[in-house]
Amino acid sequence: MALLDPVLLKSRLGLLAGRFDVDALDECDSTNSELMRRAESGAPSGTVIVADRQTAGRGRRGRSWLSAPESSLTFSLLWRFSGPLARLSGLSLAVGVGLASGLESLGAQGVWLKWPNDVLLRDGEGYAKLAGILIELSSDRRGTQAIIGIGLNLSPPTGDLPQPAAGLSQVLSAVPERYVVLAAILQELHRVLETFAVDGFFGLKTEWQQRHAWQGDSVQILGEDAAPLVGRCLGADDDGALLLETASGIERIFSGDVSVRPAGNTLGVHPA
Interface ranges with ligand ATP (CB under 6 A): 59-60, 63, 65-67, 117-118, 129, 132, 151, 153, 157, 161-163, 165, 259, 268, 271
55 vs 248 by CB, closer to ligand ATP: 55
Distance CA 201, CA 98 (A): 12
Contacts with 232 (C-beta within 8 Å, 6 or more apart), sequence order:
216, 217, 218, 219, 244, 245
When CB distances to ligand ATP are compared, the closest residue is 59
35 vs 260 by CB, closer to ligand ATP: 260
48 vs 120 by CB, closer to ligand ATP: 120
13 vs 88 by CB, closer to ligand ATP: 88
* Beta bridge partner(s), residue 147: 78, 136
At residue 63, φ and ψ (nearest 5 deg) are: -75, 165
Residue 172 CB, shortest distance to ligand ATP, in Å, is 17
Residue 188 CB, shortest distance to ligand ATP, in Å, is 20
Distance CA 41, CA 43 (A): 6
Distance CA 258, CA 230 (A): 13
Residue 50 CB, shortest distance to ligand ATP, in Å, is 16
Residue 14 CB, shortest distance to ligand ATP, in Å, is 30
Residue 194 CB, shortest distance to ligand ATP, in Å, is 25
143 vs 268 by CB, closer to ligand ATP: 268
First to last CA, the chain: 36
Q: Are 104 and 188 in contact (CB under 8 A)?
A: no
Distance CA 10, CA 118 (A): 27
> How large is the greatest C-alpha to C-alpha distance in the chain, in angstroms?
58
Q: Residue 69: left (phi > 0), alpha (psi -120 to 50), or beta? A: alpha
96 vs 157 by CB, closer to ligand ATP: 157
Residue 153 CB, shortest distance to ligand ATP, in Å, is 5
Contacts with 81 (C-beta within 8 Å, 6 or more apart), sequence order:
87, 88, 143, 144, 145, 146, 197
Residue 13 CB, shortest distance to ligand ATP, in Å, is 26
45 vs 170 by CB, closer to ligand ATP: 170
